[in-house]
Amino acid sequence: MFMKAYSMDLRKRVLAVYDCGQHNLKQIAERFQVTTRWIQQLRQRRELEGTIAPYPQNQGRKPAFRGKQLEELNEFVRHRPDATLEEIQEHFSGKVTCSLVAIHQTLKRLGWRYKKKRYEPVNKAEKI
């Protein structure tokens, strides 16, 4: 589950209330519906790094087949629809390092499906 980072406005308001020194962490956390640990981490980040901005979010793993390799894979399967995942992996062994599952997911993303011992394009009428 992906959670969005707290807004800069909330971060500034929480630290403003904390800096005035009239409330303890628990009161501030209840007021702004955040955790005391988050406030402590925000304070610490401000002291150590001089910023309260959220860390950049990880965009996840990059796909094994991109750009030219993706086009090559599509052409390879078009010319050899009966190729197995192992054969595809062997063909691209010097260019792309990935698992059989990654190849299968990429073929699925390209619109290929494995049926009766061969790959074929997914029929557009079936998607409806």
pLDDT per residue as tens digits for the range 5-14? 899 999 999 9
pLDDT of residue 128: 41
Q: How far is CA 30 from the centre of its chain?
A: 32
Which of 95 and 46 is assigned the larger pLDDT?
46
Q: Using 50, 70 and 90 to split pLDDT, how confident is the model at 98?
A: confident
pLDDT at 2 over 70: no
The answer to whether 31 and 17 have CB atoms below 8 angstroms apart is yes
pLDDT per residue as tens digits for the range 30-76? 999 999 999 999 999 999 999 999 988 777 788 888 888 899 999 99
The answer to whether 89 and 40 have CB atoms below 8 angstroms apart is no
Which of 116 and 39 is assigned the larger pLDDT?
39
pLDDT of residue 94: 85
Distances in whole angstroms, Cα of residue 96 to Cα of each of 25, 66, 77: 51, 10, 16
Q: Where are the beta strands (DSSP E) in the chain?
A: 112-115, 118-121
The answer to whether 39 and 18 have CB atoms below 8 angstroms apart is yes
pLDDT of residue 32: 96
Percent of the chain having pLDDT more than 70? Answer: 94
Mean pLDDT of the chain: 87
